[in-house]
Amino acid sequence: MSFTGKYELQSQENFEPFMKAIGLPEDQIQKGKDIKSISEIVQDGKKFKVTVTTGSKVLKNEFTIGEESEIEMLNGEKVKAVVQMEGNNKLVTQVKGMKSITELNGDTITHTMTLGDLTFKRVSKRI
């Protein structure tokens, strides 16, 4: 199953408490909470390019399944991480105590990030 495509954010849960927990400034949280971000994913075998555009902020990450890559987090911090694939539709990584799962089902991507007992969930549809 290929992740390649453009996806528009449909809904999100726990955006504000999660962004506070990872240290995003309050003004950025307020600006970002109602913006429908667009995610563009290009998959070439085990190589991925992910671009998330939220208003004027653009977050770009490139990684290869099973190899250490530098990933830019939502708060702008760059960290080393290894992304694994589970089955043929789930990307899983752990970064600084946070677990990230991106699951593709048909034209819907569900991205769940868990930090301690706080879970942030985003649902995006292919456009």
Q: What is the pLDDT of residues 43-99, one digit of tens each?
A: 999 999 999 998 888 999 999 999 999 999 877 889 999 999 999 999 999 988 899
Domain ranges for the chain, please list them.
Answer: 5-126
Does CATH place domain 5-126 in 3.40.605.10?
A: no
The per-residue pLDDT for 5 is 97
Secondary structure E strands in the chain: 5-13, 38-44, 47-54, 57-64, 68-72, 78-82, 84-86, 90-95, 98-105, 108-115, 118-126
Residue type, 120: F
